[in-house]
Amino acid sequence: MRHCQLGNEKKSSQFPGIINSPIFIHHNTLLLVVMVVLSLHAGCISSDSGRRTPAFRPFSLHTTKSSAKSTEITLADSQEQIEQVSEIAKSDSQRAIDRSTPQRASDTPTRNPSSDARQIKQVAGETGLSYDSVVDAKAELPDPSSKDYPPVVETFVPQQLTLGDLENLALGNNPTLPQAQAAVTGQEGVVYQAGLYPNPQVGYINSSASNPSVKQSNGAFFAQEFVTANKLGLAQLAASEELRRFQWDNEAQRIRVMTDLKIRYYEVLGSQEAVAVYRELLKISEKSLAIAKSLLANEGTRTDYLQAKVQLETVRLNLDEAELRYAAAWEQLATMVGVSALTPVPLVGDLTEDIPQLDLETCWQQLLSCSPQLRAAEAELGHGYATLREQQALAVPNITVQTVADYDQATAVSTVSTLVALPFPIFNRNQGNIAKAAADLNADQADICRIRFVLRDSLADSFRRYKTSLRQAERLREAILPDAKENLELSTQVFKGGQSAFAPVLASQQSYFRSKVAYVEALTELHKVITEIEGLQLTGGLNPAAIGSAIQNQMGGGTQRQRALLNDLQDNNSKQLLPAAQLSR
């Protein structure tokens, strides 16, 4: 161990002022504090971890009294100190992580008070400090098990999600729902405020003459405005009708969120099924390419090999598109739920279930009786009637009564006077506001008719898409898929019997799996349009309640993808001959 010896008998006599200066003594004190802290920190770690740690050699400070007042300061090797501090820090960090995880009572290390006392006495003896000073210095050290070390938080990720789970998340996280509720709460305050009576007025008056002996009076006055014609009741009635409209807007927004959530749920579920179909087709295409490659060396043709290779690459492209569509659909589902960091997990559901048989007129009557949009428009009409009555009542003037009491010190006379005032409606009888309220009432009546036509128009379009998707799904399930499957089986049997080339097998595989994808698309679109109809034509779950469906566009592309798949499937089937037809030629 190398030492750095500063000063001796000779040097101390040469530099007595430096050694005995306050700056040098303060520097020694700082070294002493650093030594104590590091030594106690190492002892705390060694005692708390339940295992031995490398002894940490402290700085040692020795002072000897002599005639020359020489001082010797011995410092430990700096490189060894750094290595020991690094080892202690690593041990401290690892133990902090271990403390953040739950442990059994038997695994929790316990501190030994007697061991702590021995360490404190040892440090006090080496440093020359008092026992209490060492205890105070130790108390200022950070505890590795304290809250300064954040615990390890494990995020729970569910293995799968149901529609009910997503609905609960959306009700608690979609920002438009508290926004709509805040509008209701604000209007409740408006209703309360509309019924409050005007506050009275209280004041002080002073009347003084130039000659105080003539007049010197002081007094007070009280004034109150009396509202006539039940204006407060009518104002509160108008605000209550507006509150009813806000409540229906709130309900409409809740249905919008749930409708959009279900639409995006079925979009993700359909994308999930499409990815599964393409992955299955990818495995079969890889096997088909291997078969075509093996046949190429024997009786096979290069066209079969090239067709199998093209089919494999086409399936890979389709799979990439399906996976990208699934990722985008999941992102849109997460935004509707209100949790952008929602981890993609498999959704629980079956596209072949819960397909009702709907009737246009029945759906229309249900829409008329349950639509929050119509109920909100009717509440707005009620608000128009109440506003018209309120404006008519405002033409009747209110009465203001004022009472003044004063005392004249000059004459020692007290007086009380009363004033009653009201506007005389000659010029302003609130004619303009009454006319505007009547015009707004006519507009509200027309708006109800407009909303009826809008609902009928959207229901007709939704019902057309419902019928189209339902028929496509039924025909794919009952006719196209069974025929395509049988065609694939016959093609495989004929190829295995050596009576046909491999190309018809490839075409049959492609036709069958495209039929399956078209079936998934038809079911997805069918569930989405059923959700729109059952959701009372309310979409736009991320738009403010006052706007509704005016901004946000619905997730498009479903009908276009469905139509493209059916056209492609029709073109393929028209060009392909069944194996039985080939054998008969």
Same domain as 167, residue 135: no
pLDDT in tens, 448-499: 999 999 999 999 999 999 999 999 999 999 999 999 888 888 888 888 777 6
| Nearest Cα to Cα of residue 65 among 25, 27, 12, 24 | 12
Q: Is residue 525 in a domain?
A: yes
Residue 208 has pLDDT above 50, yes or no: yes
Same domain as 184, residue 79: no
**Residue 50's pLDDT is what?**
41
What span, in angstroms and rounded, lies between the C-alpha atoms of 312 and 281? 9
The mean of the pLDDT values for the chain is 76
**Residue 153's pLDDT is what?**
41
Residue 183 has pLDDT above 80, yes or no: yes
Residue 254 has pLDDT above 50, yes or no: yes
Same domain as 189, residue 66: no
**Residue 354's pLDDT is what?**
87
Same domain as 559, residue 463: yes
Lowest mean pLDDT among 290-294, 505-509, 561-565: 561-565
Q: Is residue 551 in a domain?
A: yes
What span, in angstroms and rounded, lies between the C-alpha atoms of 555 and 382? 36
The rounded percent of the chain whose pLDDT value lies above 90 is 48
Same domain as 30, residue 178: no
Q: Is residue 401 in a domain?
A: no
Question: CATH number of the domain that 294 lies in?
Answer: 1.20.1600.10
Q: Which two tokens stand for residue 492?
A: 């495989």
End-to-end CA distance of the chain: 102
Q: Is residue 215 in a domain?
A: no
Average pLDDT over residues 336-361: 91
- At 233, the pLDDT band (50, 70, 90 cuts) reads very high
Task: Report how far apart, in Å, the C-alpha atoms of 286 and of each of 59, 283, 315 are.
Answer: 73, 5, 10
**Residue 562's pLDDT is what?**
56
Average pLDDT over residues 341-365: 92
Lowest mean pLDDT among 60-69, 190-199, 351-360, 450-459: 60-69
**Residue 410's pLDDT is what?**
81
Q: In what order do the strands lie in the sheet with 399-408?
A: 201-208, 216-226, 399-408, 413-421
Cβ–Cβ under 8 Å, residues 287 and 567? no
Residue 571 has pLDDT above 90, yes or no: no
**Residue 548's pLDDT is what?**
62
Same domain as 104, residue 55: yes
- At 553, the pLDDT band (50, 70, 90 cuts) reads very low
Q: Which residues contact 177 (CB under 8 A, 6 or more apart)?
A: 171, 253, 254, 257
What span, in angstroms and rounded, lies between the C-alpha atoms of 488 and 508? 5
What span, in angstroms and rounded, lies between the C-alpha atoms of 277 and 295? 27
pLDDT in tens, 369-414: 999 999 999 999 999 999 999 999 999 999 999 999 999 888 888 9
- At 290, the pLDDT band (50, 70, 90 cuts) reads confident
The CB density around residue 194, as the number of other CB atoms within 10 Å, is 19
Amino acid at 19: I
Q: Is residue 390 in a domain?
A: no
Task: Report how far apart, in Å, the C-alpha atoms of 431 and of each of 130, 393, 426, 434, 437 are.
Answer: 94, 11, 11, 5, 10
| Nearest Cα to Cα of residue 267 among 578, 575, 556 | 556
- How many C-alpha atoms does 471 have within 13 Å on its Cβ side? 6
With 0.85 as the threshold, say if the pTM is over it.
no
Amino acid at 423: P
Same domain as 173, residue 128: no
- At 71, the pLDDT band (50, 70, 90 cuts) reads very low
Amino acid at 193: Q
- At 211, the pLDDT band (50, 70, 90 cuts) reads confident
- At 342, the pLDDT band (50, 70, 90 cuts) reads confident
DSSP structure class, residue 140? T
Sign of torsion over alpha carbons 449, 452, 456, 458: positive
Residue 27 has pLDDT above 50, yes or no: no
Same domain as 179, residue 110: no
Chain centroid to CA 461? 33
- At 122, the pLDDT band (50, 70, 90 cuts) reads confident
Sign of torsion over alpha carbons 515, 520, 521, 527: positive
Lowest mean pLDDT among 115-124, 241-250, 283-292: 115-124
- At 300, the pLDDT band (50, 70, 90 cuts) reads low
* Residue carrying structure tokens 């000779």: 10
**Residue 138's pLDDT is what?**
62
Residue 154 has pLDDT above 50, yes or no: no
Domain count, the chain: 2
pLDDT in tens, 212-232: 777 788 999 999 999 999 999
**Residue 125's pLDDT is what?**
67
Phi-psi region of 412 (alpha: psi -120 to 50; beta: other; left: phi over 0): left
What span, in angstroms and rounded, lies between the C-alpha atoms of 461 and 306? 45
- At 346, the pLDDT band (50, 70, 90 cuts) reads very high
Q: Which two tokens stand for residue 271?
A: 């994308």
Torsion angles phi and psi, residue 29, rounded to 5: -65, -40
pLDDT in tens, 96-111: 444 444 444 444 445 5
Same domain as 172, residue 31: no
Helices 231-296 and 302-337 pack at an angle, to 10 degrees, of 160
Same domain as 125, residue 180: no
Q: What are the beta bridge partners of residue 225?
A: 400
Torsion angles phi and psi, residue 276, rounded to 5: -65, -40
**Residue 488's pLDDT is what?**
87
Phi-psi region of 76 (alpha: psi -120 to 50; beta: other; left: phi over 0): beta
Q: Is residue 266 in a domain?
A: yes
Q: Is residue 358 in a domain?
A: yes
Average pLDDT over residues 416-438: 93
Q: Please indicate whether residue 55 or residue 134 has the higher confidence score (pLDDT).
A: 134
Residue 264 has pLDDT above 60, yes or no: yes
Structural domain boundaries enclosing 535: 163-195+256-380+443-584
**Residue 20's pLDDT is what?**
45
Same domain as 278, residue 186: yes
Amino acid at 290: A
Same domain as 168, residue 114: no
Q: Is residue 322 in a domain?
A: yes
Q: What is the dihedral of CA 478, 481, 485, 487, to 10 degrees?
A: 90
Tell me how many degrees the CA angle 176-182-186 measures, rounded to the nearest 5.
Answer: 150
